[in-house]
Amino acid sequence: MAGGRRQAPPREDVLAAAMEMIAERGLEKLTMAALGREVGMSSGHLLYYFGSKDELLLRTLEWSEGRLGAERGRLLTRTAPARERLDAFVDLYVPDGHRDPHWTLWLEVWNRSQNADADARERQAAIEGAWHRDLVALLAEGISRGEFRRVDPDRFAARLRALLDGFSIHVAIGLRGTDRAQILRHVREFLSDSLLADA
């Protein structure tokens, strides 16, 4: 109707648009003004909803992680050997390549977390914790079935995730000589050497 107020899009649509902009144009092009143009809102209206760009980025990351968490849940609850599901976990964890939008966003949120408040830090810890808990449960299952060596699942998960984080950063920033396929080979060799039960 002429002169009527345009209704704001659902927040999930705004977060999806932010993620799409990161994927297509890079994080540096994601400004409140540019996102507002994309979703038909003013930058002021976006700031009213999110409070700051830091909050927008963290909410976008939480939204993206929610989708990854659902996919991770489907992969881990399949009827398959624990090693096969562990490989699927690693595949999901490691970036698709240079400038992977999810990892680009993660790196930015990590960088900004140096000045984040306690609530933002707790929310980031919750994201990390979900990955960790799922990995610990999978390792414990593989150990109980005799597929994996009798390692401490929590300690092994912490070390494996640190390895995955380091390699993933190399892939996401496009460090020469660290493409996704090479990283996956390194991780699978590590798992074979350190985790697979002796035949």
CB atoms within 10 A of CB 120: 17
CB 71 within 8 A of CB 92: yes
pLDDT tens digits, one per residue of 51-73: 888 888 999 999 999 999 999 99
> What's the mean pLDDT when you consider all of the chain?
89
User: Can you give the pLDDT at residue 131?
Assistant: 96
Rg (C-alpha) for the chain, rounded Å, is 20
More confident residue, 16 or 199: 16
User: Can you give the pLDDT at residue 195?
Assistant: 95
User: Can you give the pLDDT at residue 1?
Assistant: 38
More confident residue, 97 or 199: 97
Nearest to 59 by CA among 35, 76, 38: 35
Average pLDDT over residues 189-197: 91
Residue partners of 185: CB distance under 8 A and separation at least 6: none
CB 6 within 8 A of CB 40: yes
User: Can you give the pLDDT at residue 6?
Assistant: 52
pLDDT tens digits, one per residue of 85-141: 999 999 999 999 888 889 999 998 888 888 888 898 899 999 999 999 999 999 999
Question: pTM here?
Answer: 0.86
